Amino acid sequence: MSEEAKIFKGELFCPGDPELKAMKLRSHKLSRQYSQLEEDDVETRQKILEMMVASVGQGTFMQGPVFFHYGVHTRIGQRNFFNTNTVIQDDATVTIGDDNNFGPNLTIVTPIHPLVASERRWMRNEKGERKHLCYAKPVVIGNDCWFGANVTICPGVTIGDNCVIGAGAVVTRDIPPNFLAVGVPCRVLRQITEKDSLVNFPNILGDNSLDE
């Protein structure tokens, strides 16, 4: 079994495996190329982004700089906005839906290292070889979510549709759809309801109106 296949099974894998290192090096180079381009070089940036990730939908914009660890383990839907300094450490898969807004300094992580110090240094693989091993859990983000600045999403987390994640949150557990969640560690604060509509805040709405 390949080391990549072990990742997808949720088993211990060796991040130093030559095939995995080649995948990461490719993604790191593409991340750097994307990040060094001018913001208005739209066509070149889009080509690099399409090369870097498994899939990306129309209308998705990434401000940059960006950093993808593997890139090819990430799928991004349509019309997402990523502010500056996005980091996606996609050892396991990262799946992002449509119409999400991400504030500056978003971090999504999937790898997990053993808690016992000696196990972080070395273990033995199925061949009895002494290796550095870790494992990873996928992250899933639904549709129409808003993430404040400096949000960290931890391994294995699923965030449902229509959520708002407050600035600085460290999301360690699943967040159900339609909830506001804040804090470190992130906790569900309350459900989002029609009372939150800007129609109820005319001083903010001003002369604008809601889309029918």
Give the DSSP letter of residue 13. B
pLDDT at 122: 87
pLDDT at 206: 80
d(CA 69, CA 26): 9
| Distance set, CA 51 to CA 23, 56, 65 (Å) | 12, 10, 16
Q: What is the pLDDT of residues 136-146, one digit of tens each?
A: 999 999 999 99
Task: Note whether residue 212 is domain-resident.
Answer: no
Mean pLDDT throughout 165-184?
A: 96
- Give the structural domain span for 62: 3-205
Task: Note whether residue 150 is domain-resident.
Answer: yes
pTM of the model: 0.91
> Which is nearest to 91 in space by CA: 69, 120, 121?
69
Active-site residue, from 69, 73, 113, 132: 113
Q: Confirm whether 69 is a catalytic residue.
A: no
In the chain, the number of structural domains is: 1
Task: Note whether residue 32 is domain-resident.
Answer: yes
Task: Note whether residue 91 is domain-resident.
Answer: yes
Task: Note whether residue 68 is domain-resident.
Answer: yes
Q: Any residues with CB less than 8 A from the CB of 67 and at least 6 apart, and which?
A: 28, 31, 35, 86, 87, 88
Report the SS3 class of residue 86.
strand
Task: Note whether residue 211 is domain-resident.
Answer: no
Residue 87 banded pLDDT, cuts 50, 70, 90: very high
Task: Note whether residue 210 is domain-resident.
Answer: no
Mean pLDDT throughout 131-135?
A: 91
Report the SS3 class of residue 190.
strand
> Which is nearest to 76 in space by CA: 60, 52, 92, 90?
60
Task: Note whether residue 159 is domain-resident.
Answer: yes
The identity of residue 13, as a single letter, is: F
* pLDDT higher than 80, residue 77: yes
Mean pLDDT of the residues in the chain: 94
Report the SS3 class of residue 152.
strand
**Domain CATH for 190:** 2.160.10.10
Report the SS3 class of residue 53.
coil
* pLDDT higher than 90, residue 131: no
